[in-house]
Amino acid sequence: MEPLEKWIWLDPQRYPNSQSTVYSGFLDKADGCYTVAEFTRRYEFDKVIASARLRFSGDTEFSLFLNGRLLATGPASAGGDFLFNDFPRPQHYASEILVNPNCRFLDFFARVKMMPVGINEYSQGRGGFMLTAYVTFEDGSKAVLTTDRTWQARRNGAYTAPYAYDGRIAPDPYAPAQPIPNIWHCLTSPLPPRTEEKLLPPGGRLTLAPGETRQAELPFDRIYAGFIGLSVQAQGELRLTVCCFETDETGSQEHFIFDADSEYRGLQLHSIGGYRLTAENRSGHPASLEISLIATCYPAPFCARTVTSDPALNRVLEVSTHTLKYCRQLMHLDSPRHSE
């Protein structure tokens, strides 16, 4: 039986310039539109949910939350080399997971970035989000829930451009989501969603006096692929530039402006051996921040290790095992740097 798949997006009457995009990060971004959309829907029932099988996907990248907690990021990789994304891929993938809420509600929130930025990203040429929930209640009865007009949608303009975030800009008001044609016809991914691990580098918590500018280099123990995480306490304008480097190269950068207490998780995958941080507190009040790495890779539940009598060689093998988690799991090739 073909999976039930209903896609939604922002209303084209409100957002005529936030509908279509380029296929690949290799293509001229002037031909596309960078937009971050957010979708939400809360379902409440008069009986306890025993389980729910969820099937979901998005274009270009998304983070899905359930009942206030991150559930998954995606979509699953299209596979193959990243050199052939200049045209629509013949396949787009949906992920499936089983959850056991053991409560009477399902509260969904999704943040979807439209437009490929990294060269490992791909698109079918327009923004979209899809979710289907096959729900089983404790009494054995069932229900099917889908994304539709009852979902609420908005643009979050704080994500002003790739690698730029301005927390002074509030999200737009929510309005009904717009059903759109299914151009994706997703295959079900054989891969489970990516796992995550929050890592805090030594020195990753900083406090700035009023008017203070500080620079810091914050190395990790090895190179990871992941997203920038920030927790900010501010009572006025705080500007940050975060450079993600592997070793000693310039690396990729994100730029931030905050003027209030904020929690931020990045939408863009970086290769991160460390951070070079410049923080400028332009306010008359103290400010503090915590910068972390949300390391992500596809699950590797089994690992075969080779141990020799040479400690140096064992270290090489250990680092190679670590690198394999990030560099050959169809997220990108050869080095996490190819995600830029």
Least confident among 133-142, 190-199, 277-286:
190-199
H helical segments located in the chain: 311-327
Least confident among 94-98, 241-245, 307-311:
307-311
If one compares 317 and 134, the residue with the highest pLDDT of the two is 134
Each residue's pLDDT tens digit, 225-237: 999 999 999 999 9
The residue whose two tokens read 């064992």 is: 314
Could you give the CA distance from residue 187 to residue 60 in angstroms, rounded to a whole number?
16
212, pLDDT greater than 50: yes
Each residue's pLDDT tens digit, 98-120: 999 999 999 999 999 999 888 77
Lookup: tokens for 194: 């990516």
If one compares 297 and 41, the residue with the highest pLDDT of the two is 41
Of the pLDDT bands very low, low, confident and very high (cuts 50, 70, 90), residue 2 is low
148, pLDDT greater than 70: yes
Each residue's pLDDT tens digit, 260-319: 999 999 999 898 999 999 999 999 999 999 999 999 988 878 777 888 999 888 888 888
82: three-class secondary structure by DSSP: helix
pTM of the model: 0.92
Give, in order, the Cα–Cα distances in Å from 13 to each of 10, 156, 180. 9, 17, 13
Could you give the CA distance from residue 117 to residue 27 in angstroms, rounded to a whole number?
10
Of the pLDDT bands very low, low, confident and very high (cuts 50, 70, 90), residue 12 is very high
334, pLDDT greater than 70: no
